[in-house]
Structure 1
Amino acid sequence: MNRKIVIVILVLATLGIAMFLAMFLKGMKEDPAKNLDNNKLPTVRIQKVKYSYIESPIVEKGRLASNLEVNLSSEVAGRIVEAGVPLKVGQKFKKGDLLIKIYDKDAKMDLRAQKSRFLNKLAENLPDIKVDYADNFENWMSFFNTIDLDDNVPELPKVKTTQEKVFMASRNILGDYYAIKSAEVKLEKRNIYAPFNGSFVEVNTQVGSVAGMGSKLAGIIESNKLELQVPIESEDIKWLQLNDEVEILDSKGELLCMGKLIRISEFVDQGTQSVSVFVKLYKRGDVELYQGQFLTARFKGKKIAQAMEIPRTAVFSSNKVYVLENELMKSRRINVLKRNENSLIFNGLKEGELLVVEPPVKATENMKVQVQ
């Protein structure tokens, strides 16, 4: 019996000593630092509302195009022969150069034959003119002498009387004359000359091929007069004005030359919902620019009075922001004046209010925050 009591006492003593040691070691262990971040308030950045004049530029990319592009087509049929300027895309030429020539030897021979028959008819009728219309004979004689088979016929003498007019019509002199003039015009149409300095942008034929009447042979542009076509969002058109000066920038954002806004389209592109504006380039210096090249246009836009510019990330639901009141965020509706790529210009808040320009993630009404 005494033995059992001793064993119980030893077990209890062992348990007591173990509990004492555990408590002692626990007291020696340092308490871990509390995680203060869990209780930390979200941080925001604020800006005091203050209005002023703001000049907000509009920066958009556009494509260069010649303001004068011409399609060359044939008004007569015939075989294309060598003209001097190669029919190649990119080939440059000067004003007055022969670009396309259609074989014309047969047409020239036909025209000479017409003139020869006309001279023969005039020669037959000159004696009658001398007798019946003596006061106008010298003019007709001079006209007869100046006709050259290899040159255009001169202007027809002016008919002085009705009787003389009837005589010329009855002998078909007038009809033959205008038939020759028509043939001369058709002969000239076999040669197509450059109307300006430029280059070929499209070639649909080659030497030796046959040009059909009305067929498109090539496309040319005036390379010295380029325009930048820039699509602008329809809501931003109101900030632009004709004759505004425009800065033209390259892909690195460096200034290439200056331009002037010369045209604004009066319709909206259905696909992009943008309006095309056209900028004429000038003050180019030695800058080489090419048709189809993409450049950036920076329009100065109009000055906006009583406005403030903030990051677009500060705005939610299109036209709402947060202001700070007693460390609590309160939503306010603003009047959006202009939207830029990364910023927004507005008014509608009271000057002096604390605007939250960097709200926290998942910001809500009445959220308590601290200022950065």
Structure 2
Amino acid sequence: MRHHWRTSALFGLLLVAMVVVGPQTGWSKGERPSHVMRLENGVMRGVVKAATQAVLYAQIQGRVSQVPFKEGQRFEKGSTLVQIDCDKYRAELAVAVAEHEAKDKTFQNNKELTKLQAVSTLDLEISEAEAKKAYAAIRIAEISVQGCHIAAPFSGRVVGVMVNEHEHVFPNDKLLSLLDDTSLEIELVLPSSSLAWLKRKSPFIFAVDETHHEYAAKVKEIGANVDSASQTIKVIGIFGKLPVDVLAGMSGTAQFASRQP
């Protein structure tokens, strides 16, 4: 009997546990996972990025003669960022120009001789092709000369310098990385369910971790596709007024004022 009583009591406790645990479909305030709380409160993580940035590569082979700007320094559009010794390429351009002059004179002379039937049509066509080939060589030499001088494609700041003065570089070697810090954007990754209420120009507050300040922002663009694996979508935001104390790479939290459709 005592054994039967213990079995009945254990079975009763199991039923009570099932009643208490089984119907529970949510979490208490203290037990709710943090990521769920963030989604329900309209809070999303984001990172600040420069909309305009670039990595510059060498187009020619040569010795670096100037690198005027260092990491962190500001430059203006058109400023010289890298100068490569160009004596060899200027000389090659001069040779190409001289060869074109000679080929073109031969072609012009053959045109006159053809009128007198002193030169065959074949000779005329060959001399014309040689003149065109020489002109193309000038264009190639000009491109090499242009590659000696690397100018800033936009105004901004130097992120990284991968080459030093007096070093020898080859085509496709990395030289500098740049960004335009006047075109900062906020990159967010939101759950795809937010598309039910999210619109372009939707306002939000972005709190930057590094500065401990909050900034007014709005949605600039919404991604073109939903990631099927994570069920998320990329959203790009912009600051209402460009903050002077925020740098690319800083991260923070985006708080949307409303989540209603």
TM-score (norm 2): 0.70
Whether the 8 Å CA contact 2:206–2:253 is kept in 1: the answer is yes
State the partner residue of 2:225.
266
In 1, Cα distance between the equivalents of 2:220 and 2:106? 66
**Residues 240 and 109 of structure 1, relative CA distance in 2, 3 Å threshold:** same
Q: How far 1:200 moved relative to its partner?
A: 1.6
Q: Which residue of 2 aligns with 1:230?
A: 188
Distance 1:163 1:260 in 2: 67
1:294 has 2:251 as partner: yes
Q: Which of the residues 91, 113, 125 maps onto 2:95?
A: 113
Deviation at 1:273, TM superposition (A): 7.0
Structure 2 CA distance, aligned partners of 1:253 and 1:245?
Answer: 20
- Provide Cα deviations, 1:4-56, integer angstroms capped at 9, x if missing partner: xxxxxxxxxxxxxxxxxxxxxxxxxxxxxxxxxxxxxxxxxxxxxxxxxxxx8
2:201 corresponds to 1:219: no
Question: What secondary structure does 2:236 align onto?
Answer: strand
1:1-372 equivalent positions in 2, closer than 5 A: 58-83=42-67, 85-86=68-69, 88-130=70-112, 132=114, 166=125, 168-169=127-128, 172-251=130-209, 255-264=214-223, 266-268=225-227, 274-284=232-242, 287-303=244-260
Larger Rg, first or second structure (1 or 2): 1
Q: Structure 1 regions of 5+ residues with no counterpart?
A: 1-55, 134-161, 305-372
CA shift, 1:235, in A, is 4.2
Q: Determine if contact 1:241/1:261 at 8 Å carries over to the other structure.
A: no
Map Cα deviations across residues 262-302 of structure 1 (whole Å, 9 max, x no partner): 133634497x8754321122433x63321112233222344
CA contact (8 A) 1:262 1:280 kept: no
The one-character-per-residue Cα deviations of 1:196-229 (angstroms, maximum 9, x if unpaired) are 1111212221111121221222211111101111
Contact kept, 8 Å, 1:111 with 1:180, in 2: the verdict is: yes
For 2:103 and 2:223, how far apart are their aligned partners in 1? 61
SS for the counterpart of 2:181 is coil
2:182 alignment partner, SS class: coil
For residues 64 and 81 of structure 1, the distance between their equivalents in structure 2, rounded to whole angstroms, comes to 35
> Please, which moves more after superposition, 187-196 or 227-236?
227-236
Report the residue type matching 2:255 in the other structure. R
For 1:279 and 1:182, locate their aligned partners in 2 and report how far apart those are by CA, in whole Å: 43
Distance verdict in 2 for CA 1:77–1:71, change over 3 Å: same
Once the two structures are TM-superposed, the CA of residue 57 in structure 1 deviates from its matched residue by 6.4
Task: State the Cα deviation string for residues 40-89 of structure 1 (Å, max 9, x = none).
Answer: xxxxxxxxxxxxxxxx8622232111012211111222221115x32x22
Tell me the distance in 2 between the aligned counterparts of 1:60 and 1:175. Answer: 60
Say if 1:181 and 1:290 are closer, same or farther in 2 by CA, change over 3 A: same
Aligned length: 217
Residue 257 of structure 2 aligns with an amino acid whose one-letter code is K
1:223 aligned counterpart, secondary structure = coil
Kept in 2: contact 1:240–1:301 (CA 8 A)? no
Between the two proteins, what is the percent identity of the paired residues?
20
Distance 1:63 1:236 in 2: 19
What does the per-residue CA deviation read over 1:126-176, in whole Å, with 9 as the maximum and x for residues that have no partner? 44445657xxxxxxxxxxxxxxxxxxxxxxxxxxxx999725435x11111
Distance in structure 2 (CA, Å) of the matches to 1:237 and 1:198: 34
